[in-house]
Amino acid sequence: MLLTCAIAIIAMYVSLTNGTFDISAMDVIRTLFRVDSIREHDLVIFEFRLPRILIGAIVGFGLGIAGAALQGITRNALADPGILGIHAAAGTSVVLFMFLFNGAIKGAGWLSIIAMPMFGWIGGIVAVVLLYVLARHNGEFDPKRLILVGIALASGFGSLTLYVSLKMDPTDFEMATVWLSGSIYSANWKYVVSALPWIVILTPIIYRKSVILDLFQLNELSVKGIGVQTGRERQILLFCCVGLVSACVSVSGSIGFVGLIAPHIAKRLIGIRYRYIVPACGMIGMVMVVVGDFIGKTVFAPAELPVGIVISIIGVPYFVYLLYRASRKGH
């Protein structure tokens, strides 16, 4: 945890001080603490870089924890919000919100800020209900069927999202396309306010269920024999995961593979107890998104590569490697 915290702080510092307009560490400190601050530094730090860094940290933290919980619930090391179709469903709902309300509900005040995550949450709930209905075999979850159903749902919701986005006017379509690729370049303080409450409320609930997630790694009959209400506990954890993923998707678009890779790295570092895996996954996810965003905005400058694409470049080979390992174990 100390190592991941240190890496996260270093990544945030580098992202805050480096870019098209470099700022020294002393200038950052003066600006943050309002000591002889300069107008240009205020603009760069408070309007552009700091909201972007905070959104990257929030999104990475939320997706990492959601990925850990989903892998624990399903007892499947390949489970991930993107692979299970939750990303795509939340994305479809958010694009519908953009299409119907142009990204905001006029006259709704502060309710307009949380409306987009709520739309995403509704889409995620639809995906979970469909997973519940289609991925059960003899009344129980079938891990293999869950992955297949998730891939089908992701494809279906992705097609629906494309259809809705094609109905938009050219400006909104361009915005939706960039957003769907997983980008946080347009982050602002409203996005931070809309996503942060979901993380603050839902993360402690998942952490308190760490013991339940440990027990879920046992056989289903053994878990029920201990006295765990598996259906109820799964529903609580799934709703929490959907809330986290939907909040993240609503402010950053679909950033895949964070929820898949972070739990595997955490388990290799600290073992299999979810009391430690949950916070570690959050920190690892945070590092992945903050570093990925910094790479996307600096390595390809003056062009900018969305963080979702940067992480996918890393995630796709890793996913293939995990599939290879799973097939080898099956043999």
Domains annotated for the chain, with CATH where assigned, are 2-330 (1.10.3470.10)
Range with the poorest average pLDDT among 2-6, 41-45, 133-137: 133-137
Q: What is the 3-state secondary structure (H, E, C) of 221-232?
A: HHHHHHCCCHHH
Q: What is the largest CA-CA distance in the chain?
A: 68
pLDDT at residue 129 greater than cutoff 60? yes
User: What CA–CA distance (Å, rounded) separates 117 from 101?
Assistant: 14
Do 278 and 99 meet the contact criterion of CB atoms below 8 Å apart?
A: no
Range with the poorest average pLDDT among 18-22, 50-54, 96-100, 238-242: 18-22
Four-CA torsion 42, 45, 171, 81, nearest 10 degrees = -150
Q: pLDDT by residue (tens digit) across 37-54?
A: 788 888 888 988 999 999
pLDDT at residue 107 greater than cutoff 60? no
Q: Which among 196, 159, 180, 309 has a CA at the least distance from the CA of 252?
A: 180
DSSP 76: -
Half-sphere exposure of 164 (CA within 13 A, CB side): 20
Half-sphere exposure of 38 (CA within 13 A, CB side): 9
Q: How does the average pLDDT of the chain come out, rounded? A: 85
Do 236 and 107 meet the contact criterion of CB atoms below 8 Å apart?
A: no
Query: With bands split at pLDDT 50, 70 and 90, how would you rate the model's confidence at 104?
Result: low
Q: Answer whether 0.75 is exceeded by the pTM.
A: yes
- Of all residues in the chain, what percent carry a pLDDT higher than 70? 94
Q: Which helix (H) or strand (E) holds 136?
A: strand 136-137
Range with the poorest average pLDDT among 45-49, 179-183, 313-317: 179-183
Query: With bands split at pLDDT 50, 70 and 90, how would you rate the model's confidence at 106?
Result: low
